[in-house]
């Protein structure tokens, strides 16, 4: 399945906003800004920012603030990749076909570039053009989603600790929902909040985001098994080599694929009430589950 037709237009908005929000490479100390930009502009698809942006579109035509909030999410996503790739964690040399941040700038600078992107994310949110009461809700949502209690860092810790050990379905669910789904859910929720959605819709979009985020990780596991190194731009089959907990390893490929489809259907049902206003978000959901083919 190819990208939805609006996707590259959204990406262009996000790229321009990222460019504006990141300090110039020449701003002292230059090296850290070079490292931050190197990793942010290493070819990501901007899935979280686009989800945020299209979630806001259901409720508003003024999408500048949602683009800014989306970029803050991309900073967090990028920081997590930089730190996950470090020698002490996944020890990856390649990311999206290019040397990882620490291979290019050294371990010290990669640690600091990750720290800096996480910090810049919250500074960016604090200055976003969203009413203050909604701005603090967005920051709280994203902070929780990136944190240790059912959040991204918690999922990463559980993932590291599960390596080489037998993992049951409950443990795998915890890892995937925390490590990946939480921030994708927060992307959709933050977009809804930036767009001015009423509380009931914020909750509904949260359920949509949770389902789609979980499906996204299941598909990621499937891709790691099925695709070659070249297509992924990273070392494929690595999950298996590292004995990482994955859906295909636990349930097999067919059941994993069916589960991803079920989650996608669950996500779609949450959008039914919005009719055409959610057309883009619906296409995104399909793209994320049957994506990169």
Q: How far is the CB of 183 from a second copy (least distance, A)?
A: 11
How many Å apart are CA 286 and CA 264, to the nearest integer?
7
Asked if 143 is part of the footprint of a second copy (rule: CB under 8 A), the reply reads yes
Q: Which is nearer to a second copy, 12 or 126 (CB)?
A: 126
At residue 95, φ and ψ (nearest 5 deg) are: -145, 120
How many Å apart are CA 167 and CA 176, to the nearest integer?
12
Tokens of 77: 């996503």
**Footprint on residues 13-42 left by a second copy (CB under 8 A):** 23, 27-29, 31-33, 36
Asked if 99 is part of the footprint of a second copy (rule: CB under 8 A), the reply reads no
Q: Which is nearer to a second copy, 4 or 151 (CB)?
A: 151
Task: Among 112, 186, 271, 289, indicate the residue that binds a second copy (CB under 8 A).
Answer: 112
Q: Which is nearer to a second copy, 9 or 126 (CB)?
A: 126
How many Å apart are CA 106 and CA 86, to the nearest integer?
10
Evaluate whether 54 touches 281 at the Cβ level (below 8 Å).
yes
Question: Which segment (7-15, 158-166, 212-220, 224-232) binds a second copy by CB under 8 A?
Answer: 158-166
How many Å apart are CA 189 and CA 48, to the nearest integer?
11
Asked if 135 is part of the footprint of a second copy (rule: CB under 8 A), the reply reads yes
Question: Which segment (13-21, 152-160, 180-188, 275-283) binds a second copy by CB under 8 A?
Answer: 152-160
First to last CA, the chain: 5
Evaluate whether 26 touches 176 at the Cβ level (below 8 Å).
no
Asked if 69 is part of the footprint of a second copy (rule: CB under 8 A), the reply reads no
Q: How many other β-carbons are positioned within 10 Å of the β-carbon of residue 276?
A: 7
How many Å apart are CA 2 and CA 291, to the nearest integer?
7
How many of the chain's residues bind a second copy (CB under 8 A)?
53
User: Which spans of this chain sit near a second copy (rule: CB under 8 A)?
Assistant: 23, 27-29, 31-33, 36, 79, 83, 86, 88-89, 106-109, 111-112, 114-116, 118-120, 122-127, 132-133, 135-137, 139-140, 143-144, 146-149, 151, 153-154, 156-158, 160-161, 174
């Amino acid at each position: 399945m190819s990208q939805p037709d609006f996707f590259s237009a959204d990406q262009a908005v996000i790229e321009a906003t990222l460019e504006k929000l990141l300090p110039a490479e020449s701003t002292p100390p230059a090296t850290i800004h070079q490292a931050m930009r190197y990793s942010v502009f290493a070819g990501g698809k901007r899935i979280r920012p686009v989800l945020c942006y299209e979630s806001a579109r259901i409720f508003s035509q003024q999408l500048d603030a949602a683009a800014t909030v989306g970029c803050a999410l991309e900073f967090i996503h990028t920081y997590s990749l930089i730190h996950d790739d470090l020698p002490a964690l996944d020890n990856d040399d390649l990311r999206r076909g290019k040397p990882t941040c620490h291979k290019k700038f050294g371990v010290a600078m990669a640690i600091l570039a990750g720290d800096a992107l996480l910090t810049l994310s919250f500074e960016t949110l604090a200055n976003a053009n969203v009413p203050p009461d909604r701005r603090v809700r967005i920051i709280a949502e994203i902070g929780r989603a990136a944190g240790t209690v059912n959040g991204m860092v918690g999922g990463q810790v559980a993932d590291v600790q599960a390596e080489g050990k037998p993992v049951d379905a409950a443990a795998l669910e915890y890892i995937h929902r925390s490590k990946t789904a939480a921030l994708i859910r927060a992307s959709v929720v933050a977009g809804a909040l930036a767009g001015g959605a009423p509380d009931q819709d914020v909750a509904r979009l949260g359920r949509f985001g949770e389902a789609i985020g979980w499906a996204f990780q299941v598909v990621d596991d499937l891709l790691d098994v099925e695709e070659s190194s070249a297509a992924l731009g990273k070392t494929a089959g690595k999950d298996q080599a590292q004995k990482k907990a994955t859906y295909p390893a636990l349930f097999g490929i067919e059941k994993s694929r069916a589960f991803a489809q079920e989650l996608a259907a669950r996500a779609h049902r949450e959008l039914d009430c919005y009719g055409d206003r959610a057309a883009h978000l619906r296409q995104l959901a399909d793209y994320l589950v049957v994506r990169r083919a």
